[in-house]
Amino acid sequence: MRETPPGADDPASPSQPISPRGPARSESAPPAGRVHRRALARAFAVLLGFTFAQIVIGALVRAHDAGLACPDWPRCFGVWVPEFDFEVAWEVGHRYYASGIALGFAVLAALAWRVSAAHRALRGLLLAGGVALLAQIVLGGLTVLLQLHVSTVTAHLLFGNAFAALLLLIALALREDAAPQVRPALPTGLRRAVWTACALLVLQVTLGGLVASSYAGMACPEWPTCNGGIWFPSWRGPVGLHLAHRSTAYLLLVVLATTVWSTRRHAGLFRPLRLALALTLVQVGIGIANVRLGVPAEITGLHSGVSALIVLVMATAAREAWLRPVGNDGVRPCVVVVGAGFGGLAVARGLRDTPVDVLVVDRENYHAFLPLLYQVATSGLSAQDISHPVRAILRKLPNARFRMADVRRVDLATRTLQTADGAAIRYDKLVLAAGSTTEFYGNTDAEARAFPLHHVEDAIALRNHILCCLERAAQTEDAGLREALLGFVVVGGGPTGVELAGMLGEMRRHVVPRDFPGLASAMRVVLVEGRNRLLGAFPESLTRRALEQVTELGVEVRFDALVESVDDAGVRLRGGEQLRAHTVAWAAGIRGAALAEQLGVPLGRGRRVPVLPTLQLGGHPDVFVIGDLALVQGNETLPQVAQPAIQQGRCVADNLARELAGRAPQPFRYRDPGAMATIGRNRAVAVVLGIPLAGRLAWWMWLVAHLVFLAGFRNRLVVFVNWVYHYVSYDLGLRSIIGRRQPRRRRDVADAARDAA
């Protein structure tokens, strides 16, 4: 990983693009031809699905000897529609299905020929597909007329797989033509390894066709030996053919495993080759079962289907190897991503196939799943359950590295980042995804005494404080002190505030009565909201349901209530009402991280950085700002949640790849998948694809969505087990007070700067 790219000391280098390939083309709207290519790519992909089904049907035809039951090709017994018979039906269906595929290919090929008349490679693929289809039709007729001759059956199988592979290559070529990609160079040795694996696969498919047509498996059933348990029987007829088929399969496994290991840093090749290796392992198991069970029709069809899948995956790998330039990658531009949150990791993942070096910088070495912080604060989960090491996430990205550092300053003129320890990090492209921090709206009392809930340390501090208050309330004889210790005020009626108040209500109902007998009736949870409704981003019908559900848990709700001050006695609302509480959780708002103030540009609402629709900083096209830190022109009202950050990260990665190809960046367009908020057991509200949901169904959808987006299999498993335990036992099992000697909340950069001044 380069942190100081070549040319960084050259004053002219900041104005240079990543990889100049001529002037960028303006693409405010995609040309009609590009839209046609994308539609045709999808059409060829559908035709490929039908062809794959045809290959499986063909295997069943061979297994049933249907061709011998219907020898009068193209009719059966001299009539076009014979009397229905199972074996004959397989054969007739196979023939008419093939006719439909041929007609569909002819129509699509004619359309693709017109759209891509200037592209020789695509026209060559179309011609090859037509030749393969014609040969397949002829071989099908000969196979029946010659009564399943070994040579015609094998050739029929080969051309069928070849036609399917060509359909896949045509679809990929059309999609590539509509959206070109840049690929890093591939060493010649790795390319040769891919070709070797492809050649072995062709040999294996050929031997498989010969084995299937001669039923060699029946002559050599004692897997993996033959004829009385010996390893090397006489090399004769079907037995030798079957042994060659087995040996080639094992050799293909070895070659694929070696190639997968060698291409682990070339993601575009590694992924299809890894899938091919897994499918080949499955295929070996299916082959063993096929022989041991006496070659039943169902296993034979499955065997051919998986074989076709391997061919398609290897065709993708071969195409990728062919398109990659030969040689070494050499010096590559460095993209520095500040922040390992949802947006920053989305950028790193999106650049995995792009010839750049990615450096992710964060002051913590973990990625925290912030939507579940409130469960850590209420003892439902541990801090480790919702955090995952960044290095473990980036391990699968061949061009990404991580550096733990606290970025304090950004020098846009010299393309340099200054860290807290005095180090400098140079960049070619910079992505600021530093996130946000808690906004107290100038209320210094609340900032000094209330508990924010925006970092893992905040959640741990709040959990320890809540448990300590319960412990002290169980010991004191002072009724006034007990009332204050058992008072919990949550400020903010957004998703975080509602979820935290709901969990405190669950604790009051299920946990406190068993752990602290006699305290549940005195425990008071108050939710304070400055507007006249909860969950302002949700439809009004759902906000009413949310209010009903949260009050069912015994939570008191105050609307149109603004916090005037927070002191040791509790919270004073504007208007004079005093809420006695030793615990005040602040979930009333967020603002951009302190790093935004170091950019030297005017900040917008919420101390966020105004950026262009392409997510670039105005006047600095080499700097992108995403996530909670960005105020996107034309999308100023985007919610500061995970989905916009993830989609912005993908947009930045795509725009960086487009720049490498000499193309203009595209503006960010947000696709709203919906919103969810949980309130307690079987209580939640959600908007999914514009459909409002509430209650148990919304709660289950919330559970599934959060498990899917949680980083790391271990975290998903542990969180799932904890949720099941909590659901069955009505208990929160993580109520140990650990780390209470730490400060109540983490001081951010802005606090330290104010103290230093």
Read off the pLDDT of each residue in 465-482 and give the average, rounded to a whole number. 91
Assess whether 157 and 195 both reside in one domain. Answer: yes
Assess whether 83 and 107 both reside in one domain. Answer: yes
Distance CA 702, CA 19 (A): 43
Assess whether 583 and 597 both reside in one domain. Answer: no
Assess whether 665 and 680 both reside in one domain. Answer: no
Distance CA 96, CA 80 (A): 11
pTM: 0.68
Assess whether 534 and 651 both reside in one domain. Answer: no
Closest of 671, 674, 672 to residue 693, by C-alpha: 674
Q: Which of 631, 651, 671 is the last residue of a domain?
A: 671
Assess whether 507 and 578 both reside in one domain. Answer: yes
pLDDT score of 29 more than 50: no
Tokens (6 digits) for 682: 């079987």
Q: In what order do the strands lie in the sheet with 583-586?
A: 451-452, 583-586, 487-491, 524-528, 555-558
Distance CA 380, CA 393 (A): 24
Q: Is 287 inside any structural domain?
A: no
Instruction: Tell me if 98 sits within 8 A of 51, measured CB to CB.
Output: no
Assess whether 699 and 747 both reside in one domain. Answer: yes
Assess whether 627 and 702 both reside in one domain. Answer: no
| 499 is a catalytic site residue | yes
Q: Is 286 inside any structural domain?
A: no
The β-bridge partners of 286 are none
Distances 647 to 344, 386, 641, 642, 706 between C-alpha atoms, Å:
11, 21, 11, 9, 17
Closest of 572, 480, 474 to residue 528, by C-alpha: 572
Instruction: Identify the pLDDT of residue 86.
Output: 61
Instruction: Tell me if 354 sits within 8 A of 441, measured CB to CB.
Output: no
Model pLDDT for residues 56-115, shown as the tens digit of each residue: 888 777 766 655 667 666 667 666 666 666 666 667 777 778 888 889 999 998 888 877
Chain mean position to CA 702:
18
Assess whether 497 and 518 both reside in one domain. Answer: yes
Distance CA 686, CA 709 (A): 16
Name the residue range of residue 625's domain. Answer: 334-363+405-439+592-671
pLDDT score of 578 more than 50: yes
Residue 431 belongs to domain with CATH number: 3.50.50.60
Examine residue 74 and say whether the peptide bond preceding it is cis (omega within 30 degrees of 0): yes
Lowest mean pLDDT across 234-243, 333-342, 595-604: 234-243
Confidence of residue 329 (pLDDT cuts 50, 70, 90): low
Examine residue 224 and say whether the peptide bond preceding it is cis (omega within 30 degrees of 0): yes
Rounded (10°) CA dihedral 721, 724, 729, 733: 40
Instruction: Tell me if 623 sits within 8 A of 629, measured CB to CB.
Output: no
Distance CA 302, CA 212 (A): 13
Distance CA 116, CA 111 (A): 9
Assess whether 557 and 607 both reside in one domain. Answer: no
Q: Which of 622, 638, 671 is the last residue of a domain?
A: 671
Instruction: Identify the pLDDT of residue 12.
Output: 36
| DSSP sequence for 504-568 | HHHIIIIIHHHHSTT-GGG-EEEEE-SSSSSSTTS-HHHHHHHHHHHHHTTEEEESS--EEEEET
Burial 164-189 (b: 16+ CB within 10 A, else e): bbbbbbbbbbbbbbbbeebbbebbee
Instruction: Tell me if 686 sits within 8 A of 693, measured CB to CB.
Output: yes
Model pLDDT for residues 492-531, shown as the tens digit of each residue: 989 999 999 999 999 999 889 988 998 988 999 999 998 9
Instruction: Tell me if 97 sits within 8 A of 54, measured CB to CB.
Output: yes
Lowest mean pLDDT across 152-161, 398-407, 738-747: 738-747
Phi–psi pair at 556, nearest 5 degrees:
-85, 135
* Residue 23 buriedness (CB in 10 A; 0-12 / 13-18 / 19+): exposed
Q: Which of 257, 281, 316 is the last residue of a domain?
A: 316
Read off the pLDDT of each residue in 715-725 and give the average, rounded to a whole number. 88
Q: Give the angle 186-192-198 at the CA atoms, nearest 5°.
A: 115
* Beta strand residue intervals within 249-406, DSSP E: 334-338, 357-362, 366-368, 387-389, 400-404
Domains identified in the chain, total number: 3
Look at 116 and 424; give whichever has higher pLDDT. Answer: 424
Model pLDDT for residues 182-230, shown as the tens digit of each residue: 777 777 788 888 999 999 999 888 888 887 776 666 667 676 677 666 6
Instruction: Tell me if 392 sits within 8 A of 579, measured CB to CB.
Output: no
Read off the pLDDT of each residue in 727-745 and give the average, rounded to a whole number. 71
Model pLDDT for residues 596-612, shown as the tens digit of each residue: 988 888 999 889 999 99
Assess whether 481 and 614 both reside in one domain. Answer: no
Instruction: Identify the pLDDT of residue 95.
Output: 77
Distances 112 to 116, 129, 171, 495, 692 between C-alpha atoms, Å:
6, 12, 10, 50, 42
Q: Is 329 inside any structural domain?
A: no
Instruction: Identify the pLDDT of residue 16.
Output: 39
From 439, 457, 499, 659, active-site residue: 499
Read off the pLDDT of each residue in 301-317 and give the average, rounded to a whole number. 90
| Mean pLDDT of the residues in the chain | 83
Burial 653-673 (b: 16+ CB within 10 A, else e): bbbbbbbbebbebbebeeeee
Could you tell me what percentage of the chain is helix, strand and coil, using 3-state DSSP and rounding each to the nearest 5?
A: 55, 15, 30
The β-bridge partners of 276 are none
The β-bridge partners of 491 are 528, 586
